[in-house]
Amino acid sequence: MNGRPENWERRLHLAAHPFAYPLLRGVARRGPVVRVPGVGVVVNDASLARGVLMDGETFRKDGPGSPGDLWTPVLGPSVLLNMEGDAHRALRRRLTDLFTPAYADELCARVLAGPLDRLRARLADGAPVDLVDAARVMAGAVISEVIGLDLSTEREFRRLFEQGERVVSTVSLRTRRLSPSQIRRARAVLDPLGDAAAKAYAAGDETTVMGRMRTLGLSEGEARGAAGAFFLTGTETVATFTPRLIALLADSGLLADAAEPDGFLDRAIDEAMRFTTPTPVMLRSVHRAAAIGGAAVRPGDRVLIATHNCCRDLGPFDPGRPHPPELRRLWFGAGPHFCIGYPLAAAQIRRVARTVLDAAPLRIAGRSAARNVLIPTYRRLTVRAAGGAR
């Protein structure tokens, strides 16, 4: 490897978080568990992080300094990302079959057929393609289908993505609560989406996500909350990752390998997820006295799982290296809060990446880093198929 993957990824992180990222990486050198004033108890070790995530009784998402503090005023009290205990387990059981791999793949195949055909044609013509914009359009198309919106054009999909981006951009790595004005702005975006989700829920069409929620026994309020949670947590994560995946493969000289139908792409996606860590930190609130790796924590303490530090500890980007068990898809969580939308994200990423890679040989024609965003990403990543028509 030539080192460029690490260099560009560092640029993305520094552009997104010029002060917080050096602090985060500096804390990693202080040990597996570090108490940082004003931040909380930072966990930098994958095994310890997995232990925290698996213990939903001690380390919760609904206490002070947790995601519940952040999102409950916007999404309501009954969404998976701000629940614990029996209520969380009951809702999780009802949602278990919502995004099966087969259903997720069928949904993406149907929804992305048109956008992917247009992307494929542009690449075949040798036209420059901004993968950042393309990924946003794809993410907007999929989440539109999930919520039950009646959107059909790339302009509409792009605008939907931008609405979510505006909400998420109000959050930084240090944010504990949204201000009243931030809550009002978020509700102005999310309430109409909730109305659309409620309409799809009432229609009860079992081919739609909201209709399936009704069949699975969720209430209308739970369906509205789930739609908002999917919109906030899934759209930007997938859209920001896909250009970074292609850039990592290009900078490592592995685009040709990823284009081969031998399973390499799936391994490359997992490794790129590990290396980019689309969820760089996860938050928990301590519910009862405990210890993390010998470090005592008290009720009310805020635990910041530095997922990025845990994942980067394995080393440079290398799709040929297996992941140890404690690291397996840690970026999607673990235990009772493992991301329920993972199959949908994986299906979307795989289809978009395969379409791009099928146009190989590719070259990166230009790129720049996005600034002041929550999830590090490219502002622009332009690629061109070297073998396309002119």
Say how far residue 39 (Cα) sits from the centre of its chain.
Answer: 22
User: In the chain, which residues have pLDDT < 70?
Assistant: 1-3, 65-67, 77-85, 172-174, 259, 261-262, 387-390
For residue 182, what pLDDT is reported? 84
Percentages helix, strand, coil for the chain (3-state, rounded to 5) are 55, 10, 35
Residue given tokens 């989406």 in the structure block: 193
For residue 215, what pLDDT is reported? 87
Sorted by where each begins, the domain ranges of the chain are 4-33+71-281+336-385
CATH number for region 4-33+71-281+336-385: 1.10.630.10
For residue 82, what pLDDT is reported? 61
For residue 388, what pLDDT is reported? 53
The Cα–Cα gap between 357 and 246 comes to 8
Which whole-number Å values give the CA distances from 208 to 93, 166, 244, 308, 381, in the listed order?
19, 26, 30, 35, 33
Which whole-number Å values give the CA distances from 108 to 61, 99, 143, 350, 374, in the listed order?
30, 11, 10, 10, 26
For residue 17, what pLDDT is reported? 92
The Cα–Cα gap between 181 and 185 comes to 6
CA neighbours closer than 13 Å in the CB half-sphere of residue 263: 1
For residue 80, what pLDDT is reported? 61
For residue 1, what pLDDT is reported? 40
pLDDT digit string, tens, across residues 209-220: 898 888 888 888
Q: pTM of the prediction? A: 0.90
pLDDT digit string, tens, across residues 136-184: 999 999 999 998 898 889 999 999 988 888 887 777 666 777 788 888 8
State the amino acid at position 342 in one-letter form.
Y
For residue 3, what pLDDT is reported? 45
